[in-house]
Amino acid sequence: MTARLPHRRSDARDSRGRILDAARAVFVTEGLEVPVREIARRAEVGPATVYRHFPAKETLVAAAFTEQVLAWRSAMDEGLADPDPWRGFRVTVRKLCELQARDHGFTTAFKSEFPRAVDLAAMRTTSLTSAARLIRRAKESGHLRPDVGLADLDLMLMAGTGIRASTPAARIAASRRFAALTVQAFRA
């Protein structure tokens, strides 16, 4: 009996991993509106298994993007920690554009209003506060245009979702070019 229990736990971990991998892949290519049934099909599990691990789709979305949440938070923290406010702002813009190019689905999830996706809602609030601080510091240094605000960073993210390329490397290269042009436009 005890020999079977670890095997079941291993199967459950494998199922959870397959579900998360399938969810990430489908969210990136098809957006967040994909039905749970399709995610289950791609993960080669039944919909009930998906719901056993993730009682609501919002929970699945939040879990699927945990790594991206940490990467965005790290980019913001790094920018704020830089003693040169303008450099911190530029580096953050570049990193956010690159993160977005790597995973369009995350930007959609981040900007969405899932009512029960508490992790994403809290991350969104923290990110907006950090972004406001980055902007304020860069303006105070005299390098950022005085009319740049949070809405401009939001516009940058919306525009960045339009970057398409035939390969991930080309998409990242395009995002770096876009970030450089954006920073140039924001410069005082």
- Cα–Cα distance, 73 to 96 (Å, whole number): 10
Residue 16 sits in a domain whose CATH number is 1.10.10.60
> What single-letter DSSP state applies at residue 151?
H
24/102 same-domain check: no
Residue 181 sits in a domain whose CATH number is 1.10.357.10
> What single-letter DSSP state applies at residue 113?
-
83/143 same-domain check: yes
The residues, any chain, with a CB within 8 Å of residue 27's CB and separated by 6 or more, are: 34, 61, 64, 65, 105, 106, 108, 109
Number of DSSP helices (H) and strands (E) in the chain, helices first = 10, 0
Can you tell me the mean pLDDT for 145-151?
A: 95
pLDDT over 80 (residue 69): no
Q: What percent of the chain has pLDDT over 70?
A: 83
> What single-letter DSSP state applies at residue 59?
H
48/114 same-domain check: no
Q: Give the model's confidence band at 87: pLDDT under 50 very low, under 70 low, under 90 confident, else very high.
A: very high
113/158 same-domain check: yes
Per-chain mean pLDDT for the chain:
84
53/104 same-domain check: no
124/158 same-domain check: yes
Dig out the tokens for 54 from the structure: 């993730």
What is the total count of domains within the chain? Answer: 2
The residues, any chain, with a CB within 8 Å of residue 168's CB and separated by 6 or more, are: 101, 102
Q: Give the model's confidence band at 5: pLDDT under 50 very low, under 70 low, under 90 confident, else very high.
A: very low
The four Cα atoms 113, 29, 128, 188 give a dihedral, to 10 degrees, of: -140
- pLDDT tens digit sequence for 16-25: 889 998 998 8
50/78 same-domain check: no
53/134 same-domain check: no
- Are 42 and 82 contacting, i.e. CB atoms less than 8 angstroms apart? no
20/85 same-domain check: no
140/180 same-domain check: yes
135/116 same-domain check: yes
Can you tell me the mean pLDDT for 54-78?
A: 85
- Are 172 and 102 contacting, i.e. CB atoms less than 8 angstroms apart? yes
Q: Which domain holds residue 176?
A: 66-186
